[in-house]
């Protein structure tokens, strides 16, 4: 073998030349979990599209050898490695002619590192002893870290995978096992140990993109179930794999998988295309979960729960995660974006399908449509209200940058806009279009326009034109309403958190479904879904002596600004008993009013009054969650101003304390999900409000007394559990508040106990609760200690959680930024190529609010050439 370090190998550093296209890979990988390394060989079947004398493909971090091409007996020696672009160019001693085929072979070898990307290792404790297993994470561009390949989503091929491992371990891959045999042909060194090895051969996949290929090797156990296809009557096995320490916690995930697959088959009118669906729950994952075709992988926090004591919140996370990943089995895996700039479509769609449509059908009692507003819509609107926001669909020539531009807004805005479209055309028409789109692009690639065209055809409207502005332009509109006696005049302008936009930033005209409701004399809402605002301003005839509301259902991606008298009427109606508006409208109204007040369109007192009024009678958890988020954002924004911060904390105390007094601490199995979650929310709200200066006046005395008794009770439960070892006193719903109260209002002793729980948790949720608590001490020395052990004792996958929770602790906010700047090179090295990096950087800095902070951060990014692109976007966000 001859190798040379080389210059850039091709004119376009971001895309492979298409002289040849892979059609099939025969991939064999041997895993050695003792030496923590892997090796293998790949034979790639190529179709020659253009006469060529070279092959250019992706590979990075691997030792490659023995380059051969079938029909040519010598190994190929002209090999150039282009490290910067993660590719290899092999010169051929003859020309491959257009229209011919060729089979290209390479051997490869690499280490199983803890990088969470490519083929990597995960660790777990087997009866107290640390052991390893291996799995893959290839999205977006890490298949090339595991085996040499043409690593672009458009270059779909079939895969026949064989895994060689020690005989006592389990091999998993996308497809079903075809055969498993003893394997003797391993090196002398291995033979000398007289170990038994085996080779597991998997069935050939359908055509698929490299980023969806997956395999794993380890001492996995599994739980099994099956489902019957409603389309063909065929039964398919469903399995959840995990190591033995957590396998007893996966039943709920299995149940959700079984429920959701037939549901999608019916909605898409396409049968699940693979013979099985496995899910591997892993101790170390970059993403929360990954939709590898036929072998989903995900974190313990995404898929494990203690069925004897599980919080509803945990059940919701698992159900949403699994139905999101399963939606990708069709949307993304059968039909895949041609390039990464359209990845938002996969993610927006899976978020809408998995986290709203399917969840609502499986668990109607969870009122998931309304939860979407808090979890996705409002988050997206808050981010998108910044002048520095970016369009959902943004050019991304370099696939390695997709992880940088692909932020939460791309998931949440894309999902919100798709939900608006679904409401506009109706669910039945929407899915007719989606089904036609998937059928037209089976096992192929597509661009977003293909989906708009298909839905548009089903609906008989020009969806492509409508979606163009929502997906390809930055920001969103505020709809301002003026009234005459006989009409309303509605006008659209770009909404910015800083107030009125300059003319140059206010040029876009969006197509906004107005969803106008008239409130009839009997209190019923009569909704007109047909009116769309396609111009700057329109006048709609309406008797304004009657009650009305726009954006009913809060389905359009906009804010609505009413005249102040109308808003106060709407507020009264929202707070009426029984409420005039459905839950989603009450939530939308709260989010809108707070956002409009922050931007100076209305007084802040109007927003606080609305919450005060609603708070008197509101019984729905999700409405309370919306209020808590809105007030919490305000508190977070004012964290540096003691006076305002303390006043807002008093407001929160008075808001939540009466409800704790009413609901108590005891959870009853027969209670509605609303009551359970509301109790947890108000107890946590009181804990958060309790850390301001305690102004002891009659105005807050009652609330203060309640809060003091909450802290006392939570700490009592913590102490009893620690002294007796009986954790049954920890109702799952109160696990996090109990740990937080203990650490925040206790001291060194409580901190050390919770640190011990973090190291040896009884369940994934106990571990998450311990992380929240360790980020929440009031004592600055203990905060310092948490920062120190992040670098030494925290698994890579948990960094983001630590950074996020520390950034919510008022006493740690500036330190988080300093921590990130102080250890940036190390963190960058560790997380380069991971999903978490961009989010970690955002979380570290975006809570800062002063000009001085912005200048410091700007200087830091200017001085760091690695981060010029990220830095400029981020510092714009800060300013």
Binding range to Zn ion, per CB under 5 A, among 207-215, 340-348, 633-641, 788-796: 340-348
Which residues are CB-contacts of 558 (< 8 A; sequence separation ≥ 6)? 476, 477, 478, 479, 492, 495, 510, 512, 551
- Say whether 189 counts as a known binding-site residue: no
φ, ψ at 55 (rounded to 5°): -120, 130
User: 298 vs 685, which CB is nearer to Zn ion?
Assistant: 298
Nearest distance in Å: CB 629, Zn ion: 23
Catalytic status, residue 325:
yes
Instruction: Give the dihedral sign, CA 95/99/105/111.
Output: positive
Size of the site for Zn ion (CB under 5 A): 2
CA atoms of 582 and 416, how far apart (whole Å) = 19
Tell me the angle at which helices 748-759 and 735-745 cross, rounded to the nearest 10 degrees. Answer: 140
User: 411 vs 745, which CB is nearer to Zn ion?
Assistant: 411
Paired tokens of 170: 């389990």
Binding range to Zn ion, per CB under 5 A, among 90-98, 346-354, 512-520, 752-760: 346-354
Binding range to Zn ion, per CB under 5 A, among 217-225, 347-355, 387-395, 698-706: 347-355
Long-range contact pairs involving 725-732 (C-beta distance under 8 Å, separation at least 24): 727/762, 728/309, 730/309, 731/309, 731/667, 732/306, 732/309, 732/310, 732/311, 732/314, 732/765
CA atoms of 850 and 458, how far apart (whole Å) = 51
Binding range to Zn ion, per CB under 5 A, among 67-75, 349-357, 528-536, 757-765: 349-357
User: 255 vs 347, which CB is nearer to Zn ion?
Assistant: 347
Please state whether the peptide bond connecting residue 359 to the residue before it is cis, i.e. omega within 30 degrees of 0: no
φ, ψ at 176 (rounded to 5°): -75, 155
Radius of gyration of the chain (CA): 28
Residue 350 engages Zn ion in binding (rule: CB under 5 A):
yes
Q: In the complex, which residue's CB is closest to Zn ion?
A: 350
Nearest distance in Å: CB 324, Zn ion: 5
Q: How many CA atoms lie within 13 A of 521 on its CB side?
A: 1
DSSP letters, 537-576, are: EEEEE--TTSEEESSTTS-SSSEEE--HHHHHHHHHHHHS
Nearest distance in Å: CB 372, Zn ion: 15
User: 410 vs 554, which CB is nearer to Zn ion?
Assistant: 410
Task: Say whether 41 sits in a helix, a strand or coil.
Answer: strand
Binding range to Zn ion, per CB under 5 A, among 38-46, 217-225, 343-351, 656-664: 343-351
Nearest distance in Å: CB 152, Zn ion: 19
User: 347 vs 688, which CB is nearer to Zn ion?
Assistant: 347
Nearest distance in Å: CB 443, Zn ion: 19
User: 347 vs 796, which CB is nearer to Zn ion?
Assistant: 347
Hey, what's the torsion of the CAs at 655, 661, 666, 667, to 10 degrees?
Answer: -40
CA atoms of 532 and 103, how far apart (whole Å) = 56
- Say whether 105 counts as a known binding-site residue: no
Catalytic residue among 86, 265, 325, 393: 325
Binding range to Zn ion, per CB under 5 A, among 341-349, 361-369, 513-521, 753-761: 341-349
CA atoms of 381 and 259, how far apart (whole Å) = 32
CA atoms of 228 and 236, how far apart (whole Å) = 7
Nearest distance in Å: CB 350, Zn ion: 4
User: 260 vs 350, which CB is nearer to Zn ion?
Assistant: 350
Please state whether the peptide bond connecting residue 629 to the residue before it is cis, i.e. omega within 30 degrees of 0: no
Nearest distance in Å: CB 346, Zn ion: 6
φ, ψ at 552 (rounded to 5°): -65, 135
CA atoms of 399 and 153, how far apart (whole Å) = 10
Nearest distance in Å: CB 765, Zn ion: 22
User: 82 vs 347, which CB is nearer to Zn ion?
Assistant: 347
- Say whether 74 counts as a known binding-site residue: no
Residues tagged in the binding site annotation for Zn(2+): 324, 328, 347
Residues tagged in the binding site annotation: 324, 328, 347
Q: Which residues are catalytic?
A: 325
Interface residues with Zn ion (CB under 5 A) are 347, 350
């Amino acid at each position: 073998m001859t190798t040379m370090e080389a210059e850039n190998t091709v004119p376009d550093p971001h895309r492979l030349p298409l002289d040849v296209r892979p059609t099939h890979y025969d991939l064999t990988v041997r895993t050695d979990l003792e030496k923590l390394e892997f090796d293998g060989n790949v034979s790639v079947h190529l179709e020659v599209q253009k006469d060529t004398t070279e092959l250019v493909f992706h590979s990075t971090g691997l030792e490659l050898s023995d380059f051969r091409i079938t029909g040519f007996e010598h190994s190929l020696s002209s090999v150039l490695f282009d490290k910067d672009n993660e590719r290899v160019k092999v010169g051929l001693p003859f020309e491959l002619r257009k229209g011919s085929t060729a089979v290209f072979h390479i051997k490869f070898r690499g280490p199983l590192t803890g990088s969470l990307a490519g083929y990597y290792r995960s660790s777990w404790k087997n009866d107290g002893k640390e052991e390893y297993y291996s799995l893959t994470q290839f999205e977006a561009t890490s298949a090339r870290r595991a085996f040499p390949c043409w690593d672009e989503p458009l270059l779909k091929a079939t895969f026949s995978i064989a895994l060689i491992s020690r005989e006592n371990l389990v091999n998993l891959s996308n497809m079903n096992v075809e055969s498993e045999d003893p394997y003797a042909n391993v090196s002398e060194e291995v033979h000398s140990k007289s170990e038994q090895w085996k080779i597991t051969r998997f069935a050939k996949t359908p055509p698929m993109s490299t980023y969806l290929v997956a395999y794993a090797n380890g001492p996995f156990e599994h739980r099994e179930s099956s489902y019957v296809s409603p389309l063909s009557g065929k039964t398919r096995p469903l399995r959840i794999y995990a190591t033995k320490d957590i396998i007893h916690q996966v039943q709920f995930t299995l149940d959700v998988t079984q429920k959701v697959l037939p549901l999608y088959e019916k909605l898409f009118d396409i049968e699940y295309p693979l013979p099985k669906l496995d899910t591997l729950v892993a101790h170390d994952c970059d993403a929360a979960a990954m939709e590898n075709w036929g072998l989903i992988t995900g974190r313990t926090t995404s898929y494990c729960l203690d069925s004897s004591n599980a919080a509803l919140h945990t059940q919701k996370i698992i159900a949403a995660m699994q139905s999101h990943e399963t939606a990708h089995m069709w949307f993304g895996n059968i039909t895949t974006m041609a390039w990464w700039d359209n990845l938002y479509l996969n993610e927006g769609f899976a978020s809408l399908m998995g986290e709203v449509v399917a969840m609502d059908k499986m668990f109607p009692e969870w009122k998931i449509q309304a939860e979407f507003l808090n979890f996705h819509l409002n988050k997206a609107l808050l981010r998108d209200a910044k002048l520095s926001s970016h369009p959902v669909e943004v050019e991304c020539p370099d696939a390695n940058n997709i992880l940088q531009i692909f932020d939460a807004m791309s998931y949440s805005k894309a999902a919100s806009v798709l939900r608006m479209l679904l409401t506009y055309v109706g669910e039945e028409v929407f899915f007719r279009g989606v089904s036609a789109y998937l059928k037209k692009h089976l096992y192929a690639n597509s661009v977003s326009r293909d989906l708009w065209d298909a839905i548009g055809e089903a609906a008989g409207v020009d969806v492509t034109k409508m979606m163009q502005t929502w997906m390809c332009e930055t920001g969103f509109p505020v709809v301002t309403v003026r009234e005459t006696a006989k009409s309303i005049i509605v006008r659209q302008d770009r909404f910015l958190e800083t107030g009125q936009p300059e003319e140059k930033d206010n040029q876009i005209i969006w197509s906004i479904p107005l969803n106008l409701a008239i409130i009839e004399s009997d209190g019923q809402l009569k909704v007109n879904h047909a009116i769309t605002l396609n111009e700057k301003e329109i006048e709609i005839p309406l008797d304004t002596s009657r009650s009305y509301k726009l954006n009913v259902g809060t389905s359009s991606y906009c804010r609505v600004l009413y005249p102040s008298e109308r808003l106060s009427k709407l507020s009264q109606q929202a707070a009426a008993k029984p409420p005039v508006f459905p839950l989603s409208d009450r939530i939308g109204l709260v989010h809108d009013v707070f956002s409009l007040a922050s931007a100076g369109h209305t007084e802040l007192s109007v927003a606080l009054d609305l919450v005060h009024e609603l708070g008197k009678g509101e019984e729905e958890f999700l409405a309370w969650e919306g209020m808590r988020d809105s007030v919490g954002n305000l508190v977070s924004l004012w964290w540096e101003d003691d006076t305002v911060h303390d006043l807002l904390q008093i407001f929160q105390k008075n808001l939540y304390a009466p409800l704790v007094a009413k609901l108590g601490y005891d959870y009853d199995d027969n209670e509605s999900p609303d009551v359970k979650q509301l109790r947890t929310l108000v107890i946590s709200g009181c804990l958060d409000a309790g850390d301001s200066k305690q102004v002891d006046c009659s105005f807050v005395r009652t609330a203060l007394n309640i809060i003091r008794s909450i802290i006392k009770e939570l700490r009592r439960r913590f102490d009893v559990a620690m002294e007796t070892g009986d954790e049954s006193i920890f109702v799952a719903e109160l696990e996090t508040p109990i740990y937080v109260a203990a650490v925040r209002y206790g001291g060194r002793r409580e901190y050390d106990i919770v640190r011990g729980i973090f190291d040896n948790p009884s369940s994934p949720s106990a571990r998450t609760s311990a992380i929240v608590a360790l980020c929440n001490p009031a004592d600055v020395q203990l905060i310092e200690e948490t920062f120190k052990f992040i670098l030494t004792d925290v698994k890579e996958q948990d960094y983001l959680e630590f950074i996020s929770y520390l950034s919510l602790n008022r006493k740690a906010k500036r330190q988080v930024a300093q921590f990130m700047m102080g250890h940036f090179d190390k963190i960058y090295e560790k997380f380069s190529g991971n999903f978490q990096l961009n989010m970690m950087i955002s979380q570290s800095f975006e809570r800062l609010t002063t000009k001085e902070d912005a200048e410091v951060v700007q200087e830091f990014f200017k001085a760091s050439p690695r981060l010029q692109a990220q830095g400029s976007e981020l510092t714009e966000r800060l300013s």
